[in-house]
Structure 1
Amino acid sequence: MNQQTNSKPQIRVIKDEQQLQRHIEALIDIEPRFDAVYQQVGMPDLRRNQGGFVRLIRAMVGQQLSVAAASSIWNKLESAGLIYPQAIIDADDDQLRAHGLSKQKIRYIRSLVAHDIDFESLEVMTDEEVIKTLTAVTGIGKWTAEMYLLFSLGRADVLAVDDLAIKVGAMDLLQLDARPTPKQLRDLTQDWSPYRSAASLLLWSHYGWLKDRQALPV
């Protein structure tokens, strides 16, 4: 009798800077043009965070706001203890609004509370399962889910094709005539797998490098 094999994809993560270094070297073997970028920007920051409920609420608060405005609202919520599920359940909308949240943001945050995500379970889900779980929450789109995969879960093969900086960085790297659409970028970078998180980190750093030298969209 043949033994059954587990067909679930292996979950790959970047645990530390040494592992990131190996992924960058492997990426450069696939796409040598990254070598010049790496020489320009050096080792990118992994920017890892603890993830969880508070991390997603903070992401929601910051949507479509300046850094200063988002920080101001976050500080008010944090000081009032309104960043945890039970506290949000106990607060009425007027209280949340008084601390700077719009009607839309209140709806988003209450949706996150209602979904009661088991954040530990995300650690063992595939990237696709994590994205499906997170985007089921009102107010969490694919970009936010991908940021969670990359910076909270440390997943190794995430390229945020909807991200402006990624598009601009890739346009320069690949010497394209125009900024790629998400589909074009996805198609152009398939060969970078399974090292697309290293590519994302390098492209973000490259975008910053480009911005310092010429007027680019922010």
Structure 2
Amino acid sequence: MPNIHHQEVIDQQLAQLLEQDRRLAPVSQAAGPLHPRMHPPGFEGLARVICGQQLSVASAGAIWQRFSTRGDAARDPGSYLALCDAGLDGVGLSRSKVQTLRTVARALVDGQLDLAAIAGQPVADALAALTRYKGIGPWTAEIYLMFCAGHPDVFPVGDLALRKSVEMALGLDEAAQPSALARIASAWAPYRSVAALLFWRYYGAVRNKEVMPV
């Protein structure tokens, strides 16, 4: 399966997804075009996702904007390690995120973590390789795999906006807990990443706000 870094791949996979599950046709009509902001794999992409943990899109964007002004610290792990904590004053990163970024940066510099290799691994292996580091949970790892590695078959069931979107779009009687949502999303394999993009876009269109994580 090709990764979803390119718009033509997203369009092709969406067409195949809609053919696979006809219930999604009205969802797609309401959502409109899918134009996600994809990012290259590496420290910068993972740092961007870590910055956005448990924050609104607007808050995460503001923090990333400030972080990006601190030299190459947001892009290069060595530069991040060279920046003392005082250099992050005013950025808005929590202490735990500062530490998570330090852990990831150290693992990259020491060669313990290879994000380029992870981008080509099966989902289960890639998730295991990322979540072994404190501060990187399933949501962070899945968002990185989708938006940075471009993996085509990821559905972050722990994302609240995604869960609410599926509930609304499919008219579920009960809240879709992660385990139930995983079962529902299994019908959209091997295009689950595009399905996730579709439901984020749908929720944003219905609520008139940006909910795409990065």
TM-score above 0.5: yes
Say whether residues 1:87 and 2:83 are aligned partners: no
- Give the TM-score of the pair, scaled to structure 1: 0.81
Deviation at 1:171, TM superposition (A): 0.8
Q: Give, as a single letter, the amino acid of the residue that structure 1 aligns with 2:84.
A: D
- 1:68 CA displacement: 5.6
How many residue pairs align between the two structures?
Answer: 203
The question of 1:112 aligning with 2:104 is answered: yes
Larger Rg: 1
Aligned match for 2:182, one of 183, 186, 190: 186
Cα distance, 1:176 vs structure 2: 0.6
Distance 2:163 2:205 in 1: 14
How far 1:36 sits from its partner (Å)? 0.8
The question of whether the paired residues in 1 share the 8 Å contact of 2:127 and 2:138 is answered with yes
In the superposition, relative to structure 1, how do residues 62 and 86 fare at CA in structure 2: closer, same or farther (>3 Å)? same
Alignment of structure 1 residues 43-122 onto 2, 5 Å: 43-65=33-55, 70-81=60-71, 82-83=73-74, 84-97=76-89, 100-116=92-108, 117-122=113-118
Distance 1:56 1:199, change over 3 A: same
**Residues 100 and 196 from structure 1, CA distance in 2 versus in 1: closer, same or farther, beyond 3 angstroms?**
closer
> Does the CA-based 8 Å contact 2:119-2:151 persist in structure 1?
no
Q: Is the CA contact (8 Å cut-off) linking 2:18 and 2:25 kept in structure 1?
A: yes
Counterparts in 2 of 1:65 and 1:157: CA distance versus 1, 3 Å: closer
CA 1:172–1:139: 2 relative to 1, 3 Å: same
Give the Cα separation in 1 of the matches to 2:144 and 2:60. Answer: 18
Judged with a 3 Å threshold, the aligned counterparts in structure 2 of structure 1 residues 62 and 27 are, in CA distance, closer, same or farther, namely: closer
CA–CA distance in structure 1, aligned partners of residues 180 and 97 of structure 2: 32
RMSD in angstroms over aligned alpha carbons? Answer: 2.4
Counterparts of residues 1-218 of structure 1 (less than 5 Å): 12-65=2-55, 70-81=60-71, 82-83=73-74, 84-97=76-89, 100-116=92-108, 117-212=113-208
TM-score of the aligned structures, taking structure 2 as reference length: 0.82
Residue identity over aligned pairs, in percent, reads: 33
Structure 2 unmatched runs, 5+: 210-214
**Long gaps (5+) in structure 1:** 1-10, 214-218
Letter in 1 for 2:85: D
Q: Per the alignment, do residues 106 and 30 of structure 1 end up closer, same or farther by CA in structure 2, a change over 3 Å counting?
A: same
